[in-house]
Amino acid sequence: MKPLDVVIYQGYFWNPLTYVIGTRTSTFWTHAGIILSATGLCMEAKEGGVQKTQFNQKRKHKIIRYNGGLTEEEQSKLMSWLLSKEGCGYEYKSYLGYLFGFKTPYLNDPNEFVCVELASEMFDQNDIDIWGCEKPTYVYPSDMLQNPFFDEIED
C-alpha cells in the first residue's frame, strides 16, 4: 500500500445504507478512504467531516491504485489537495441524490464530500481524468472498483 491508494470497504450488515447501496449497485462495497502513508494513515469523509483515520485491516476491503502514472509533481499536488480537505464537511444532503437519483447543483458542494467522492474529486479537481467519459452523477465505491484507470493491488 502506498500514499494515494484508494481503499474500498465492504458495508456492515447492520447498516441500512449497505442495502440501499446494494440495490443501486448490486454490490455491498459501501465506503472508501485514501491512504496517506505506508503506516496506514488514511483520509476519509465520514460522519463529522473529512478526517484522518487509521486503515481498518480487519474490515473486508480492496485497495486500488491509479494506473495512469503520476509524476512526483502530480503526486505532491494530489496529496496537498487531500490534506487541505481535512475538516471539510460531510455532504449529508447528497444522500437525497444517492437514494432518489436527484441531479441538482444543490447537491454538489465542492468542499463537502461523501466517502468515495473524496477520492474521485481528488483526481477530478486536479485535472486528472479518471473516467475517460462522462463522470457518474453519483460515484459509488463499486464505480471506482470497476474503473479501468485503477488496478487492484495486494496489501
Give the pLDDT confidence score for residue 5 in this predicted structure: 97
How many other CB atoms sit within 10 Å of the CB of residue 142? 19
Q: Mean pLDDT, to the nearest integer, of 19-28?
A: 86
Confidence of residue 37 (pLDDT cuts 50, 70, 90): very high
The whole-angstrom separation of Cα 48 and Cα 38 is: 25
* 6-153: CATH superfamily: endopeptidase domain like (from Nostoc punctiforme) (3.90.1720.10)
Q: Which of 150, 141, 131 is nearest to 27 (CA)?
A: 141
How many other CB atoms sit within 10 Å of the CB of residue 3? 14
CA 11, 15, 19: angle at the middle one, nearest 5? 70
Q: Is the dihedral of CA 103, 109, 114, 115 positive or negative?
A: positive
Q: Mean pLDDT, to the nearest integer, of 52-66?
A: 96
Give the pLDDT confidence score for residue 105 in this predicted structure: 63
For the chain, the residue count is 155
Give the pLDDT confidence score for residue 17 in this predicted structure: 81
Domain residue ranges of the chain, discontinuous segments joined by +: 6-153
